Chain A
Amino acid sequence: DAGVIQSPRHEVTEMGQEVTLRCKPISGHDYLFWYRQTMMRGLELLIYFNNNVPIDDSGMPEDRFSAKMPNASFSTLKIQPSEPRDSAVYFCASTLREGFSLYGYTFGSGTRLTVV
């Protein structure tokens, strides 16, 4: 398996523009997560899905952020309109349905977003 695949790797956009980040999780994983990483706040959970259904979006900063998972192999995180404070590295991660043991997350390589 190629792992969790994110695109694009880098995105530079102007304030006010729409940004769409994409993620392909590992086949067979039941959970998909979107995280944002900054130097000051570290990794913050934005939203997660279980079997394509959004379970918790309490970490989404505001209505400008939205996420979808139309099928088991694809998810998007959209920011509209983008603002300079949205600049960060956005990670997608996936994991298996837990049983007695907890599986660690497999993270993608991230999308570095710069809003100017």
Chain B
Amino acid sequence: EDQVTQSPEALRLQEGESSSLNCSYTVSGLRGLFWYRQDPGKGPEFLFTLYSAGEEKEKERLKATLTKKESFLHITAPKPEDSATYLCAVRPSGGYQKVTFGIGTKLQVIP
């Protein structure tokens, strides 16, 4: 069974204080790893897809990286508007769509 574990569960940062969120996964062959952002009362919003170890993707203050066992979401000089829950998800190889999500990391950025 595919598993995704995210840490920490919650993170509180001062504005401008860079940090990283971790996503550890076990999957029977990785087709892709996803990062989503979820604001309170809303559905998750897609951020990135990573496909293979060594790959990196960037969007504004966010950079996602991937190894064979985990992914990191690096947040550089965060702003209060970056406050949200960040979800990691994995899609196994094979001809079917079955994505497993982690519980998420709740990030709070304080001005």
Contact = CB atoms under 8 A, between A and B. Distances in A.
A1 B46 CA distance: 16
Interface stretch (A13-21, A60-68, A73-81, A100-108): A100-108
A33 B44 CA distance: 13
B97 A31 contact: yes
Contacts of A53: none
Interface residues of A, number: 27
Given A42-B102, A102-B91, A93 B43 contact: yes
Given A42-B104, A56-B96, A56-B98, A101 B49 contact: yes
Contacts of B31: 102
A50 B97 contact: yes
**Interface size band for B:** 20 to 34
B68 to A, nearest CB: 18
Interface in B19-67: 31-32, 34, 36, 41-47, 49, 51
26 contacts: A42-B87, A43-B101, A44-B101, A45-B98, A45-B99, A48-B97, A48-B98, A55-B96, A55-B97, A56-B98, A93-B43, A101-B49, A102-B31, A102-B32, A102-B34, A102-B49, A104-B34, A104-B36, A104-B49, A105-B44, A105-B46, A106-B46, A107-B45, A109-B41, A110-B42, A110-B43
Interface of A: 4, 31, 33, 35, 41-45, 48, 50, 55-56, 91, 93, 95, 98, 101-110
